[in-house]
């Protein structure tokens, strides 16, 4: 196979144009829609001259860790896909639901070696089979909880619309994690796919909302720097758009997952990215357990284009 063309890794060629005619099919199938508040990057002329950033490095006291300003959009409609979840596909919508084996009873996040050789390896094999891929590498993972303890690796839910990686960041990730071997893998097709699943039996508190890629415009994506001690990454923060259609899977269970596309090197009209965010569900019971979830970030390589 020929190397992936450099244009696939250019942020300015992400090429998102809303297709509301086709996107309306699934939207109209949703029998239940909830009215909720969603959060977005605040529109501002400052983003024309100042790049948003988040700093995850030691800083002098008083120095801000971010310049990002968000805004809330009340009265947003979020469609419940329960019962029609098979209508959504990675290459069409940018996300796809799937069943999973039950969580292992002995899952131990503190034993990193066992976690990586056991659960992460199993999930890489799951995704490899699911997507008919040649190689899958899990390069990062995040646990989230609405009452995350302070000073732990567990994070709060991400409450502002975003996409984890830009095209430029996808290429940088491949080189960072695969080194010289990346040249071999960067032929055919590359994807960045997140596997998101609950860590409790049922999620009712702060479920995940996902946006149909076909309803997003390139103009609504603003690249933001993520600065770590060992690496400078880049994500997309997302502005609100009137065409956006947001979905969630009601009462998502621990044997269910959603695959979310962060990048795809194919530029033939299929979905390439998918905005997402947690949201405060208006019907969450007062006694609902805190949301706990796990997301794996995976590099996926194909030698054949399907």
Q: What is the pLDDT of residues 230-246, one digit of tens each?
A: 999 999 999 999 999 99
Q: Structure pTM?
A: 0.97
Check pLDDT > 70 for residue 254.
yes
Query: Quick one: CA torsion of 168, 48, 226, 216, rounded to 10 degrees?
Result: -60
Among 99, 126, 98, 87, CA closest to 212: 87
d(CA 247, CA 253): 16
Give 237's strand partners. 162, 222
Find the length of the chain.
306
Residue 118 DSSP symbol = I
CB neighbours of residue 195 within 10 Å: 22
Strand order in the sheet with 95-99: 95-99, 256-264, 189-198, 292-302, 135-145
Give 98's strand partners. 257
Q: Are 41 and 263 in contact (CB under 8 A)?
A: no
Give 78's strand partners. 34, 246
pLDDT band at 110 (very low <50, low <70, confident <90, very high): confident
d(CA 290, CA 14): 36
Query: What are the pLDDT digits (tens) for 200-229?
Result: 999 999 999 999 999 999 999 999 999 999
Q: Which residue has the tokens 């090429």?
A: 15
Residue 63 phi, psi (nearest 5): -80, 130
Q: What is the pLDDT of residue 49?
A: 95
Strands 292-302 and 135-145: antiparallel
Burial class of residue 104 (count of CB atoms within 10 Å of its CB; 0-12, 13-18, 19+)? exposed
Sorted by sequence, the CB contacts under 8 Å of residue 75 that are 6+ apart come out as 35, 37
Task: Express as a percent the part of the chain with pLDDT over 90.
Answer: 90
Q: What is the pLDDT of residue 107?
A: 87
d(CA 141, CA 292): 14
Q: Where are the beta strands (DSSP E) in the chain?
A: 33-41, 53-55, 70-80, 95-99, 135-145, 162-163, 189-198, 202-203, 208-211, 221-227, 232-238, 246-248, 252-253, 256-264, 276-278, 292-302
pLDDT band at 1 (very low <50, low <70, confident <90, very high): low
Sorted by sequence, the CB contacts under 8 Å of residue 173 that are 6+ apart come out as 139, 165, 192, 233, 299
């Amino acid at each position: 196979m020929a190397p992936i063309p450099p244009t696939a890794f250019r942020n300015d060629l992400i090429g998102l144009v809303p297709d509301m005619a086709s996107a309306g099919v699934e939207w109209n199938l949703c029998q239940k829609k909830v009215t909720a508040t969603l959060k977005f990057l605040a529109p501002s002329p400052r983003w024309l001259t100042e790049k948003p950033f988040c700093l995850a490095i030691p800083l002098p006291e008083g120095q801000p860790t971010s310049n990002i300003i968000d805004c809330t959009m009340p009265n947003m409609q979020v469609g419940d896909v329960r019962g029609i979840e098979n209508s959504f596909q990675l290459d069409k919508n940018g996300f796809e639901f799937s069943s999973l084996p039950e969580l292992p009873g002995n899952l131990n996040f503190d034993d990193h070696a066992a976690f990586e050789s056991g659960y992460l390896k199993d999930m890489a094999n799951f995704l490899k089979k699911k997507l008919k891929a040649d190689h899958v590498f899990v390069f990062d993972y995040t646990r989230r909880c609405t009452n995350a303890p302070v000073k732990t690796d567990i994070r709060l839910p991400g409450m502002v619309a975003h996409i984890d990686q830009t095209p430029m960041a996808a290429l940088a990730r491949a080189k960072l994690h695969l080194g010289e071997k990346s040249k071999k893998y960067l032929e055919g097709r590359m994807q960045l796919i997140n596997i998101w699943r609950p860590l409790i039996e049922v999620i009712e508190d702060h479920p995940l909302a996902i946006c149909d890629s076909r309803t997003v415009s390139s103009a609504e994506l603003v690249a933001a720097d993520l600065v770590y001690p060992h690496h400078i990454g880049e994500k997309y923060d997302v502005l609100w758009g009137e065409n956006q259609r947001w979905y969630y899977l009601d009462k998502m269970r621990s044997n269910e997952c959603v695959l979310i596309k962060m990048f795809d090197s194919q530029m033939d009209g299929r979905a390439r990215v998918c905005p997402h965010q947690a949201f405060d569900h208006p019907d969450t019971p007062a006694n609902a357990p805190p949301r706990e979830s796990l997301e794996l970030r995976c590099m996926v390589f194909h030698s054949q284009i399907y």
